[in-house]
Structure 1
């Protein structure tokens, strides 16, 4: 896998935004390419002046959405039997899908939003959403809303770390939990404040 990761970095260095888009599309379509790798290096290229921060964010979010739609459609039309039979051929682990399914069973459509900030689950959450045949437009909206803060956080971190951007790979899971926690706190604060003002 390390060879594949290095190749991904090489492609991003050559092709820039399209490679970020394709890399995130693959990651969100269940191919195990860490978003920390893609966004961390993209942030480094922003640091070098070879990429624009906002455009990199747009490419990352758009790619993640495209891959998520593919995963959603696989779940929608194939269902669990398809994953059981063909999952191993499309990089889908039944154990990881089951983990994502537990999140979806607990939080419903909200899981599509929250899971974008969590390691492993974010890659597979679109499948149970497809299994449940959730409203497609709502799925897209929740996917985008969940993807934006994670994308911004990682690209910004890569930009701030500069030549040390690879540190993101070692702290990626912890960073995702931090971003998720901060977002949950913000949402709770917003809800409480809104109820007080009602």
Structure 2
């Protein structure tokens, strides 16, 4: 909770811009938990330093901009990006192999699940871009769907617990587990839509 308090002080002084910048750093793989950053943004809204709905929008833009930047860097520079000193620390050969294994197991659904995998998120996005496994549009849609689940949840949680820090600490812990339930539901929805579209395409081909 010490980190949360520090972020609250920083964000209260600098407002939306500080939240946006911090989320860009999260996207770049900085050792700054995205969930705590989002909660801090919600807290300052609850304390009257910002509008909570505007904070959700700013947070969504910051999260997606950071993720997109990592994907596009990988897409532009390919495997060469792994030779960059900062990227090499984040994406070691062992972690790269781990991400590849997860892609083989989950396919492009990993881009959705990565939002709920602290420590793996940036590595997944860089790898997806570098290996050209998926188009930017598909990446953005999957990442955006996941962000629409996680970002409002954390910001509104911070807003609700702005003056109830013990309650907030309890729900941050519960929320970190609950995100996996939401992620699972999201995967089921995506899988159901994919199955429905495939079945519809087969019917159309059969009728043709």
TM over 0.5: yes
The residue that corresponds to 1:62 in the other structure is 61
Alpha-carbon RMSD across the aligned residues, in angstroms, is 3.1
Alignment of 1:41-120 (within 5 A): 41-83=40-82, 85-88=83-86, 92-94=90-92, 95-120=94-119
The residue that corresponds to 1:140 in the other structure is 140
Three-state SS of the structure 1 residue aligned to 2:32 is coil
The residue that corresponds to 1:27 in the other structure is 26
State TM-score, norm by structure 1.
Answer: 0.78
- Runs of at least 4 residues of structure 1 off by over 6 A? none
5+ unaligned residues in a row in structure 2: which ranges? Answer: 201-208
The residue that corresponds to 1:162 in the other structure is 162
Q: How far off its partner does 1:91 sit?
A: 5.5
Q: CA–CA distance in 2 between the matches of 1:187 and 1:55?
A: 28
Q: How far off its partner does 1:92 sit?
A: 1.7
5+ unaligned residues in a row in structure 1: which ranges? Answer: none
Q: CA–CA distance in 2 between the matches of 1:111 and 1:89?
A: 20
Three-state SS of the structure 2 residue aligned to 1:125 is helix
Q: CA–CA distance in 1 between the matches of 2:51 and 2:155?
A: 11
In our comparison, the structure showing a higher alpha carbon Rg is 2
Q: Deviations over 1:9-65 (max 9, x none)?
A: 443222211211111111112222111221111111121122222211111111111
State how many pairs are aligned: 190
Three-state SS of the structure 1 residue aligned to 2:90 is coil
